[in-house]
Each structure stands twice: as structure tokens, then as C-alpha cells.
Amino acid sequence: MTDVQNRPYHHGDLRRTIIETGLDILRDEKNWQFTLREVARRAGVSHAAPYKHFPDKAALLVELAMIGFDRLREALAGAKPEAPQSLFEEIMPISLAYVAFGTDNPALYRLMFSAEEGRSVGMHLDQRALAVFDIVLDMLSRGQDAGTIRKRPVRGQATAAWALIHGITLLAIDGILVPEKVGSAPLDAAIATLVEGLAIPQPI
């Protein structure tokens, strides 16, 4: 476990220290059953210190989830290919980056999509969360404009793509994408199926 109790704390960095300690606990314990008192203890600050920036634990968890969306957006943006030769070549690296983020950060990913305490809907309407969805919307909109993707309501297409990748990510996190059941390359096969549904057939 990360020795977060030895985290250096400097006056004026309390909010950052609380957030980073929360992320450490989330990663190490793979859940968010901790208390603000525990966060304060591990951060080496007074029990009352976290309340200076977060009125309760739920507020801290929302911020941790938002940081997750920020990091996921950065991962997807960094995975976008510069000159893809096909829709598959454009979607595949972004999909791989999405699944990798989830499997590398399982507790954070689950928190981002948790419906606990009614946070989920509000979080997903926050601009930081919408920015992830916007990457998919932009890719599909450009494809429609270029004539490579079927003219359908783009948000419906994006929802289908998101549902597929999100489901695969959760299956991967739970370790049940076993080859005996889904084959040796389930993500490739799923993305190929998605592309077939999105793409306009090109003349041979």
C-alpha cells in the first residue's frame, strides 16, 4: 500500500493533498468505503481539515470522479491517430485506450459510473464528463460529413459505441473476457461489428 501518511504537505496545498490522498486510497483499497477522517489521518492533517474544501465525503468523491473523466479524456485524445486509413483504424486505438484506462484504474472507473447517492446523473452532465463523450461525437460527426458513416442521429450512434466499449471495459475489469467464451480478440471483433453498423459500404 502507498505510504500516503508520509505525503509532504505544505501550507496552501491542503485541497490538492486531500484529493491526492483520496486517489491513493481509492487505488490501493480498490473501493471508496473510506471516511474523510481516514483521508485526514493518512494525509497527516487534522480531522477537520478536509471540511475546509469538501463539505462531506460525497463532494470529495465527485471531485475524484471528475479527475477520472479528465484523465480519460486525455487518454482518448492522446490515442487519436493522425491519419487513419479507415474507420476501424480511427476507432480502434481510441477504444483500446478507453479499455486500458478502465482496467488500469478499476476503482476510479467504477466510481465515475457509480449511481451511489444519486451522483451519477449530475456527474455525467458536468462539462468535464461530457468532454469524453464529445470526443466520440466529434469523430462520428466528422465521419458523417465525410460520407463514411451512415447519416443517423449522431448521439444515438455515440450512445451505441459508448455502451459497447463501457460494457467491454467492465467485463475486462471483472476478468471474465475469457478466450474460451469470447475468443482471443474480443475487442477487435466487437469494434469490427460496430464499424460495420456505422460505416457506409464503400464500392469495391
Q: In this structure, what CATH number is given to the domain that contains residue 43?
A: 1.10.10
At which of 14, 34, 52 does a domain end? 52
Residue % of the chain over a pLDDT of 70: 91
Query: Could you tell me the pTM of the whole model?
Result: 0.88
In a domain, residue 98? The reply is yes
Position 185, amino acid: A
In a domain, residue 154? The reply is yes
Domains held by the chain: number: 2
Considering the domain architecture, whether residues 113 and 35 belong to the same structural domain is answered as no
Considering the domain architecture, whether residues 118 and 181 belong to the same structural domain is answered as yes
Q: Mind listing the pLDDT tens digit for each residue in 119-167?
A: 667 788 899 999 999 999 999 999 999 999 999 999 999 999 999 999 9
In a domain, residue 71? The reply is yes
In a domain, residue 57? The reply is no
pLDDT in the model for residue 117: 53
Considering the domain architecture, whether residues 169 and 72 belong to the same structural domain is answered as yes
Considering the domain architecture, whether residues 125 and 103 belong to the same structural domain is answered as yes
Considering the domain architecture, whether residues 42 and 69 belong to the same structural domain is answered as no
Considering the domain architecture, whether residues 18 and 94 belong to the same structural domain is answered as no
Considering the domain architecture, whether residues 39 and 138 belong to the same structural domain is answered as no
Q: Mind listing the pLDDT tens digit for each residue in 15-54?
A: 999 999 999 999 999 999 999 999 999 999 999 998 899 9
Considering the domain architecture, whether residues 185 and 89 belong to the same structural domain is answered as yes
Considering the domain architecture, whether residues 70 and 39 belong to the same structural domain is answered as no
Q: What is the domain range of residue 167?
A: 62-198
Considering the domain architecture, whether residues 48 and 101 belong to the same structural domain is answered as no
In a domain, residue 204? The reply is no
